């Protein structure tokens, strides 16, 4: 089986598992370790090393999803993690901690890639918008299956307020919103994003998507709107896809000549 290790760094847990690159299924039970608080670079790197060590049979580069802007493996924002990540070459730090190449990707982008390849957006052309509703709101924008990275739509402002502060799943919990109140806020967000991007399909992801039956019927969208298929594993699966992509992009000895 062709598998790569995917790791997803979240505000409360760091999860990893080998992913079968053909089916997108996890090839072993995932390992989850609570995110250290504060989530500083050194302790998080050590946890990555532990996760990689527990799947020592899985070869190749490792993909790692991170909840912030990622450009060429370096971190440019960390709204829901420690600010000391900004400017860090996470790919280099993690590669050192794991003794293996680690490539980075934004967590929502990873979810988007995974949903487009194996999940709710598989086989869909046109503009696909994946929103992950969790501590923040992550976004992935794809056109005909190709990702536009780091869109960060959860940081748009609507009515003078940052969207993710108003309509994330954390906002629902902290502000003790009923599902009805929360879905109304989500409807405002969906209408705004529709005006800006005119997606053909919107995929609603994040842990709360398992309760889509409760709130999904109250969402209004011009575009098709569906729950994510890979739920909370989408970050892990997309990170493994990113690892496989990075290998394919490596010049081989033959075409370097
Ligand atoms: C971050 C995004 C991330 C999202 C979900 C936001 O606060 O800025 O990069 O994708 O949270 O974790």
* CATH architecture group of domain 122-228: 2-Layer Sandwich (3.30)
Q: What is the signed CA dihedral for 207, 210, 216, 217, rounded to 10 degrees?
A: -160
Residue 137 Cα to ligand 1 midpoint, Å, equals: 6
The pLDDT, as a whole number, for residue 157 is 97
**Residues of the chain with pLDDT > 90: what percent?**
93
Residue 257 has pLDDT above 90, yes or no: no
Nearest Cα to Cα of residue 137 among 111, 98, 103: 111
Report which protein residue has its CA nearest ligand 1's atom 10.
Answer: 138
pLDDT digits (tens, 9 = 90+) for 191-216: 999 999 999 999 999 989 999 999 99
Pocket test for ligand 1, best of 138, 150, 155 (most atoms within 8 A of CB): 138
pLDDT digits (tens, 9 = 90+) for 136-148: 999 999 999 999 9
For domain 3-109+233-256, say whether CATH 3.30.420.40 is its number: yes
Report the mean per-residue pLDDT for the chain.
95
Domain boundaries, the chain: 3-109+233-256, 122-228
**What pTM does this model have?**
0.96
Q: What is the DSSP string of 36-53?
A: PSS--HHHHHHHHHHHHH
Residue 158 has pLDDT above 60, yes or no: yes
Average pLDDT over residues 220-231: 96
The pLDDT, as a whole number, for residue 55 is 95
Q: Which atom of ligand 1 is nearest to the CA of 108?
A: 10
């Amino acid at each position: 089986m062709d598998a790569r290790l995917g790791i997803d760094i979240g505000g409360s847990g760091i999860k990893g598992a080998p992913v079968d690159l053909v089916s997108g299924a996890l090839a072993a039970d995932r390992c989850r370790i609570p995110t250290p608080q504060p989530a500083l670079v050194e302790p998080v790197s050590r946890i990555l090393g532990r996760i990689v060590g527990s799947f020592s049979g899985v070869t190749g580069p490792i993909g790692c999803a991170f909840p912030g802007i990622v450009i060429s493996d370096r971190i440019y924002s960390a709204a829901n993690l420690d600010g000391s990540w900004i400017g860090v070459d996470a790919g280099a730090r993690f590669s050192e901690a794991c003794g293996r190449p680690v490539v980075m990707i934004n967590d929502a982008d990873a979810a988007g890639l995974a949903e487009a390849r194996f999940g709710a957006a598989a086989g869909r052309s046109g503009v696909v918008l994946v929103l992950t509703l969790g501590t923040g709101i992550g976004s992935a924008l794809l056109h005909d299956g190709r990702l536009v990275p780091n869109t960060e739509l959860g940081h748009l402002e609507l009515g003078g307020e940052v969207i993710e502060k108003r309509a994330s799943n954390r906002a629902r919990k902290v502000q003790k919103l009923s599902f009805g109140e929360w879905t109304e806020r989500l409807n405002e967000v969906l209408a705004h994003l529709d005006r800006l991007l005119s997606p053909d399909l919107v995929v609603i992801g994040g842990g709360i998507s398992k309760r889509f039956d409760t709130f999904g019927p109250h969402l209004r969208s011009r575009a098709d709107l569906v729950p994510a298929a890979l739920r909370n594993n989408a970050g892990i699966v997309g990170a493994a896809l990113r690892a496989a992509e990075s290998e394919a992009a490596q010049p081989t000895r033959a075409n370097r000549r």
